[in-house]
Structure 1
């Protein structure tokens, strides 16, 4: 099964031997392509909605995951891998499993190393936002999950200043948002 982790590692374990997925893993899931498989665009549409549901952003009935139908196309996603991930997602949504983010304190958040890229988010803006989020995680602030979701940053051109990689920052924001939703904020 493909876990959705870009590094190829398996999904985290819930402690009871059962793996669970974080919204970021679902959003960035990758699958082997095969001669005839599921339409990648259609698969990613469902996965993005399911990831939002896992993060608590929207209500999404688990039956929608189970009954998802994808067009079979040349060079599509391996059907077995997609079906396995969808089964895990359905189970997680049906049972209300909210996976931990691993960033339950400001110290852990600030310890995250964000890779830099030629075109990315302005490091100063991101660092200031993360400092506020870290203080909030430690009980010093009133940041909400919606504030994290709606945060925007300027981008850099890369000519004079390398920014933070957009995907890495967005994944970190997903985790912060999920942690705040988990805390009822």
Structure 2
């Protein structure tokens, strides 16, 4: 959930208060990782304050993610990811940006992760969760942080589903 990003609501529409959503999603991430307790009923009944028009997070996008979290908690299963093999991970193209994560560090990490997905490495979901990358410096463009974070969330989820 580290990489969850939501659009602003459409013009004239109201969104959920971003800080409240972020705090709840932190709790949900901890629960899905087995480090906190959260029930499907708590997810279903959570209420967020409504932000002024044009502010906050798009309600439909947040509700869609909450439906997925509720399903995962209710079934005890992790929703399938697109990262079944190392080739799937290598096929992901990360967008570049100034002040993004250092591309060499990210690439080296993802090479190791690809080997693990192919059954040749020992990377764990905890290692993915605790990984931090340096920010690119100078004129070097790194990988966009939100895109890398979202990919790491998906990789962590895939490794957890494999019991790693």
TM-score when normalising by structure 2: 0.80
Equivalent residue for 1:177, pick from 147, 156, 159: 156
Q: CA deviation at 1:107?
A: 1.1
What are structure 1's unaligned runs of at least 5 residues?
1-22
State the partner residue of 1:49: 27
Q: CA deviation at 1:64?
A: 1.7
State the partner residue of 2:123: 143
Distance 1:64 1:160, change over 3 A: same
State the partner residue of 1:30: 7
Q: CA deviation at 1:24?
A: 6.7
State the partner residue of 1:61: 39
CA deviations 1:61-112 (Å, max 9, x no partner) are 1122123232344235589637843455424422334211111111111111
Equivalent residue for 1:102, pick from 82, 96, 106: 82
Which sits farther off after the overlay, 58-67 or 175-184?
A: 58-67
Q: Distance in 2 between matches of 1:45 and 1:128?
A: 31
Q: Distance in 2 between matches of 1:87 and 1:133?
A: 28
- Residues 60-139 of structure 1 correspond to what in structure 2 (within 5 A)? 60-75=38-53, 81=60, 84-85=63-64, 86-87=66-67, 89-139=69-119
- Do 1:31 and 1:82's aligned partners in 2 also have CA atoms closer than 8 Å? no
Equivalenced residue count is 161
Q: Distance in 1 between matches of 2:33 and 2:45?
A: 21
State the partner residue of 2:146: 167
Q: What secondary structure is seen at the aligned counterpart in 1 of 2:150?
A: helix
What is the RMSD of the two structures over their aligned residues, measured on CA atoms?
A: 2.8
Q: What secondary structure is seen at the aligned counterpart in 1 of 2:139?
A: coil
Q: Distance in 2 between matches of 1:103 and 1:144?
A: 15
Q: Distance in 1 between matches of 2:108 and 2:63?
A: 40
TM-score when normalising by structure 1: 0.72
Which sits farther off after the overlay, 27-36 or 134-143?
A: 27-36
